[in-house]
């Protein structure tokens, strides 16, 4: 009997491992997936420059009996930072994050739909239905109200002095009030459009070291090294490309 129990326990653990590897968690329901094209326009001394990319968002919601967090939401974003080519000034990267809002790529669409009211277990499904029903290009507001807080809703910007060397990363913005930007570039507009197109996968050609980065490799910026970064959350390789659960 004990041997049979051990076999059953082993089978359960094996199944659980397979579910985790597949991106599933027992007790979670997968909601519809959607893809969107994010376009970032920059104002530069040479005029407006832009770049775009397609990002895919997967969402799971815990059921009412799930322990310890019934109704909890998990997302997985599949995509990469937006690359804006400034010609002789090099490339600017609009990251897959917005300040402290690390789940921003999976949440930005919610800033473009009316607030959804209702039962906890129905709200996110209704939100995704509204997102998938959007047509045409929408402008993304620079901030997003979440409860009593205003969250940053435009991506962070960085560049590299030498793209082959991650240690040469340079922070562009946003910057705290009163700090002068050393690189005269700022976001002019961000747009969002629901699309049925392949997820963008070009960044490894732009940043050859990225495919070898282990896990969420920490990337100290020039402001980190100067001790000037209390305003800026730490950067990592995860901000450039991701396909993992959050």
**Selection from 50-54, 174-178, 219-223 with the highest mean pLDDT:** 50-54
Using pLDDT thresholds of 50, 70 and 90, give the confidence band for residue 20.
very low
Cα 84 from chain centre: 17
Mean pLDDT of the chain: 81
Closest CA to 60 of 90, 31, 101: 31
Rounded to an integer, the average pLDDT of 201-214 is 87
**Pairwise CA distance, residues 192 & 173, whole Å:** 21
**pLDDT computed for residue 214 by the predictor:** 60
Enter the DSSP assignment of 104.
H
Residue 14 has pLDDT above 60, yes or no: no
pTM for this prediction: 0.81
Q: What percent of the chain is modeled with pLDDT above 70? A: 75
**pLDDT computed for residue 158 by the predictor:** 92
Q: Report CA-CA distances (Å) from 220 to 80, 92, 123, 170, 232.
A: 19, 17, 38, 9, 11
Using pLDDT thresholds of 50, 70 and 90, give the confidence band for residue 200.
very high
Could you identify the residue written with the tokens 């435009």?
154
Residue 228 has pLDDT above 90, yes or no: no
**pLDDT computed for residue 68 by the predictor:** 62
Tens digits of residue pLDDT in 83-126: 999 998 899 999 999 988 888 999 999 999 998 887 767 888 89
Q: Out of 59-63, 65-69, 131-135, pick the least confident.
A: 65-69
**Pairwise CA distance, residues 177 & 65, whole Å:** 46
Domain boundaries, the chain: 27-245
Tens digits of residue pLDDT in 137-149: 999 999 988 777 7
């Amino acid at each position: 009997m004990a041997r049979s129990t051990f076999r059953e326990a082993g089978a359960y653990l094996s199944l659980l491992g397979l579910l985790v590897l597949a991106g599933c968690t027992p007790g979670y329901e997968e909601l519809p997936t959607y893809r969107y094209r994010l376009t970032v326009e920059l104002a530069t001394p040479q005029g407006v420059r832009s770049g775009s990319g397609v990002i895919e968002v997967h969402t799971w919601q815990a059921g009412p009996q799930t322990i310890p967090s019934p109704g909890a939401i998990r997302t997985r974003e599949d995509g990469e930072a937006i690359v804006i080519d400034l010609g002789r000034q090099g490339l600017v990267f609009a990251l897959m994050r917005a300040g402290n809002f690390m789940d921003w790529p999976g949440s930005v669409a919610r800033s473009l739909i009316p607030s959804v009211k209702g039962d906890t277990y129905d709200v996110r499904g209704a939100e995704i239905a509204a997102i998938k029903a959007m047509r045409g290009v929408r402008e993304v507001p620079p901030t997003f109200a979440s409860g009593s807080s205003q969250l940053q809703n435009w991506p962070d910007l960085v560049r590299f002095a030498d793209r082959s060397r991650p240690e040469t990363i340079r922070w562009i913005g946003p910057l705290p009030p009163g700090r002068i930007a050393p690189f005269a570039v700022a976001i002019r507009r961000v747009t969002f459009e629901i699309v049925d197109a392949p997820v963008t996968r070009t960044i490894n050609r732009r940043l050859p070291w990225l495919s070898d980065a282990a896990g969420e490799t920490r990337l100290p910026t020039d402001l980190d090294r100067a001790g000037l970064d209390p305003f800026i959350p730490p950067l990592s390789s995860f901000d450039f490309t991701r396909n993992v659960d959050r």
